[in-house]
Amino acid sequence: MATRLRTAHTAELAPAELRAVRALLEDAFEGDFGDEDWDHGLGGMHALVHDERGLAAHGSVVQRRVLHRGRSLRVGYVEAVGVRSDVRRTGLGGRVMGALEGIVDGAYDLGALSASDEGAGLYAARGWQVWPGRICALGPAGVVRLAEEEGTTFVRHAMAGPLDPAHELIFDWRDGDVL
């Protein structure tokens, strides 16, 4: 089965392509993919894999900010990674991640993502590491600890240099799931 990988910014995707991505993600997440989840995956770069049936896999990387040890780091945050059910476990998720990792490594201080139980193995196998420290967000009322994200937040060191897990990662706030 021949596949084609394309990377494009959200602004370069036609409305029909965006509808296809949304449909793929709603199916991949078995209906647990809402409007806020959709919004989180927009505004950055997308990796799309097509096969003869259409869109087979997708992921995006968007810019976020993380405070760590008094520094504000530009983070390539991976979002909306999904593979069509009939082609799962065929390497397409890895192709998507390879394209996104190239973007992260070339343009950001750090890569980060929040993994589902189903996706964690893919990220770990590709060298992403579970962040061993505290996870927080800078919310409207100040810094809020996100203990439920600890153990599921993965990082990929790019240009940021060493991070110290004795100091938390404080992500920027957003509606819906903060991470």
pLDDT of residue 159: 73
36 three-class SS: helix
User: Over the Cα atoms of the chain, what is R_g?
Assistant: 16
Residues in the chain: 179
pLDDT of 149 strictly over 70:
yes
pTM, entire model? 0.95
Q: For the chain, what percent of residues have pLDDT higher than 70?
A: 98
pLDDT digits (tens, 9 = 90+) for 63-96: 999 999 999 999 999 999 999 999 999 999 999 9
pLDDT digits (tens, 9 = 90+) for 107-120: 999 999 999 988 99
pLDDT of residue 160: 67
40 three-class SS: helix
- Which two structure tokens, joined as six digits, stand for 152? 């599921």
Taking CA atoms, 108 is separated from 17, 76, 101, 145, in Å, by 26, 6, 10, 24
pLDDT of residue 158: 64
Q: First and final CA of the chain: distance in angstroms?
A: 35
101: pLDDT confidence band, cut at 50, 70 and 90?
very high
27 three-class SS: helix
pLDDT digits (tens, 9 = 90+) for 10-37: 999 999 999 999 999 999 999 899 999 9
Domain boundaries, the chain: 4-172
CATH, range 4-172: 3.40.630.30
pLDDT of 1 strictly over 80:
no
Are 166 and 133 spatial neighbours (Cβ–Cβ below 8 Å)?
yes
Hey, which bits of 69-146 come out as E strands?
Answer: 71-83, 110-114, 129-130, 135-139, 142-145
Residues whose CB falls within 8 Å of the CB of residue 47, separated by 6 or more in sequence, listed in order: 5, 6, 7, 57, 58, 59, 60, 95, 96, 97, 99, 100
